[in-house]
Amino acid sequence: MRFFLPTIACLALGFAGVVVGSALSAQQAAETSAAAKFKLPPGYLPITALPDSLTLLPAPPEPGSAAFAQDEHAHARAAALRNTPRWTVAASDADLHFPHAASLLSCAADLSISKDATPRLYGLLGRMFVDVGLSTYRAKDHYKRTRPFVLHKEATCTPTEDTLLSADGSYPSGHSAVGWGWALVLTELVPSRADTILRRGRDFGESRVVCDAHWQSDVDAGRVIAAATVARLHADAIFAADLAAAKAEVAAAPRGAVTPDACAAQAAALASGP
């Protein structure tokens, strides 16, 4: 199974065009649209069961507020990392195409995560990706927050996607939500690496600030929605079964199956901040 999604924004834009017919429920129509257009698996949860980000999150910081000043400070600090190895990692983290996306936390987990090496885990990450990503959109579509690169007339670390991103709300960050959601689940599967995995999940979100695609408060809010979605997923029987299968698979998988030099380079880049 190959998942295809240029950005979380594309998923929402595809769903926005769904017309629900009398023979299809909203969930069925959404899944049909996604499967046809983006070659995605269905998520685990019905759309009506997704956490409501508009209810769970406060409004984003207003321009001129102390909170917005903190966002601007984080933006300025991250600007110093442009065109450094940390910028390169941020660009890699921005790429949510599978199979690339599934491997982004491999170094942190000390585990080769791929369709061939860990097919049950690979499928689990792909399905929950849909749930976590979609859970951000009630707030995104309501607030339609302007992204930092648009406000400051800059370019992100993925300039070919800037036009698409500029039309998609900044708050909360879907990428950050996905990265944190994956990290939370991976800590259950590889508890001996929990701190390293969670730090990588944190850095995954910070990559969006480095990339100039999101404000810091977008990233922080994305983690809230990720935690809410993962909590909800644990009440789903199919997710629970897939998680158990992935846990058995990971327990039997060899450790140290990732490239040491590449992981060392990634760690060095991430250590440079933020």
Helix residue ranges, H only, 5-105 = 8-16, 26-38, 53-56, 66-79, 85-94
Q: What pLDDT, in 10s, does the model give residues 83-139?
A: 999 999 999 999 999 999 999 999 999 999 999 999 999 999 999 999 999 999 999
Distances (CA, A) of 111 to 108, 145, 204: 8, 37, 17
Q: How many domains does the chain have?
A: 1
- Is 127 an annotated catalytic residue? no
Q: Is residue 3 part of a domain?
A: no
Question: One of 127, 208, 236, 242 is an active-site residue; which one?
Answer: 208
Q: Is residue 249 part of a domain?
A: yes
- Is 218 an annotated catalytic residue? yes
Q: Is residue 245 part of a domain?
A: yes
The single residue listed with the structure tokens 């600090």 is 77
Label residue 64 left, alpha or beta by phi (over 0 means left) and psi (-120 to 50 means alpha).
Answer: left
Question: One of 110, 162, 203, 218 is an active-site residue; which one?
Answer: 218
Question: One of 86, 145, 147, 214 is an active-site residue; which one?
Answer: 214
CA distance 117 to 114: 5
Question: One of 86, 127, 175, 223 is an active-site residue; which one?
Answer: 175
- Is the pLDDT confidence value at 32 over 50? no
198, 181, 124, 171: which is closest to 9 by C-alpha? 171
The single residue listed with the structure tokens 């959404």 is 30
- Is 152 an annotated catalytic residue? no
Q: Domain containing 174 — which CATH number?
A: 1.20.144.10
CA distance 220 to 201: 12
For 49, the domain range is 43-271
Q: Is residue 32 part of a domain?
A: no
Burial of 17 (0-12, 13-18, 19+ CB in 10 A): exposed
Token pair for residue 94? 């921005």
Report whether 134 contacts 43 (CB < 8 A): yes
Q: Is residue 62 part of a domain?
A: yes
Token pair for residue 32? 């049909």
- Is 145 an annotated catalytic residue? no
- Is the pLDDT confidence value at 14 over 80? no
Question: Which of 30-34, 197-201, 219-223, 258-262 bottoms out in mean pLDDT, i.e. has the lowest?
Answer: 30-34
Q: Is residue 37 part of a domain?
A: no
Q: What pLDDT, in 10s, does the model give residues 39-53?
A: 556 899 998 999 999
- Is the pLDDT confidence value at 12 over 80? no
